[in-house]
């Protein structure tokens, strides 16, 4: 059993990590670090864990843990690692934006379906963003085959948990309920990592990804639609996607698609349709699992040589 630590233990992604790791066959939780909740049982914050664990939050860390998950606010992971040093054998999996872009660091971008070999030999992983995961899984097969010839147009809706636990004007129930809005049109931060992956897989990519993010009046999940010009037939596209994802345990092509199929799972479902010369790809994920904590555990499994789906055989909350 490997020993796992969680930094920033009071947030949504930490709660999902605790839930997964408590039932993981190859890992055990060594500590859950929180400067705001030390000494309190984790179940007082993550109340779905009542009766599941006696673990308490701590304000100390084990520098020799086998793997540490950083569930900190964007910009805080770099600061935390500058102030706290772990052993040479400790693997770091960061769920923030801090290390997703290539640069002066040793973090590998952790999108398993396209960078598995790099992840398996990595020491540290930058876990992709939730929108970036849903959109990348929809469009990257065409990049891998070098077949993107024009712009992608993407419209995606996320649930309220995508904004984290801190309240804001747009996360209060009275604002979110029976409401819908777009934000950061054409300028969402996840576009950078999507573009980086596109260029890595198709170096001559020079088109645009036109992305409109939306806030939905539900708690969790992402529903994304993406379309581009495509010369092949629908059968050609389905064959391509099936081949690209033939060894991806969480990616499935379907004919009917909606959020309830994936919420509470690490799955990404994709539906392909052809309209004239355009290929439409619909992608759905759980933003807290495949878009965050589930993918982080998937990356952990790859680093340590465990089955890729270990601890992640989760049932959707369908009813």
Give the C-alpha separation, 185 to 4, whole Å: 38
268 flagged as catalytic: no
151 DSSP β-pair partners: none
**Are 300 and 67 within 8 A, CB to CB?**
yes
CA–CA separation, 249 vs 266, rounded Å? Answer: 10
Distance, C-alpha 297 to centroid of its chain: 10
> What torsion do the CA atoms of 33, 97, 219, 255 make, to the nearest 10 degrees?
-130
Rounded CA separation 124/272 (Å): 34
Dihedral of the alpha carbons of 246, 250, 251, 257, in degrees to the nearest 10: 150
In the set 18, 130, 237, 280, the catalytic residue is 130
Q: Which residues are annotated as catalytic?
A: 130
């Amino acid at each position: 059993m490997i020993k796992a630590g969680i930094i920033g233990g009071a947030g949504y992604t930490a709660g999902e990590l605790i839930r997964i790791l408590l039932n993981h066959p190859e890992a055990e939780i060594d500590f859950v670090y929180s400067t705001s909740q030390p000494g309190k049982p984790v179940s007082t914050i993550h109340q779905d864990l009542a009766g599941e664990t006696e673990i308490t939050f701590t304000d100390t860390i084990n520098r020799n843990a086998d793997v540490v998950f950083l569930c900190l606010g964007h910009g805080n992971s770099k600061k935390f690692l500058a102030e706290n040093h772990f052993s040479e054998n400790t693997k770091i999996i960061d769920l923030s934006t801090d290390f997703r872009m290539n640069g002066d660091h040793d973090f590998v971008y952790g999108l398993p379906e396209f960078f598995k070999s790099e992840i398996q030999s990595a020491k540290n992983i930058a876990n992709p963003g939730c929108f970036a995961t849903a959109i990348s899984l929809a469009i990257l097969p065409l990049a891998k085959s070098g077949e993107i010839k024009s712009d992608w147009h993407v419209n995606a809706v996320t649930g309220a948990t995508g904004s984290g636990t801190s309240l804001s004007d747009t996360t209060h129930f009275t604002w979110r309920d029976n409401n819908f809005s777009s934000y950061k049109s054409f300028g969402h931060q996840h576009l950078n990592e999507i573009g980086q992956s596109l260029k890595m897989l198709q170096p001559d990519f020079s088109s645009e990804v036109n992305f409109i993010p939306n806030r939905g009046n539900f708690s969790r999940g992402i529903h994304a639609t993406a379309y581009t010009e495509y010369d092949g037939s629908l059968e050609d596209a389905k064959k391509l996607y099936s081949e690209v994802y033939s060894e991806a345990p969480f990616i499935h092509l379907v004919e009917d698609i909606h959020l309830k199929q994936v919420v509470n799972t690490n799955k990404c479902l994709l539906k392909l349709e052809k309209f004239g010369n355009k290929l439409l790809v619909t992608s759905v994920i759980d933003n807290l699992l495949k878009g965050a904590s589930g993918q982080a555990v998937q990356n952990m499994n790859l680093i340590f040589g465990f089955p890729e789906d270990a601890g992640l055989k989760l049932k959707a909350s369908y009813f």
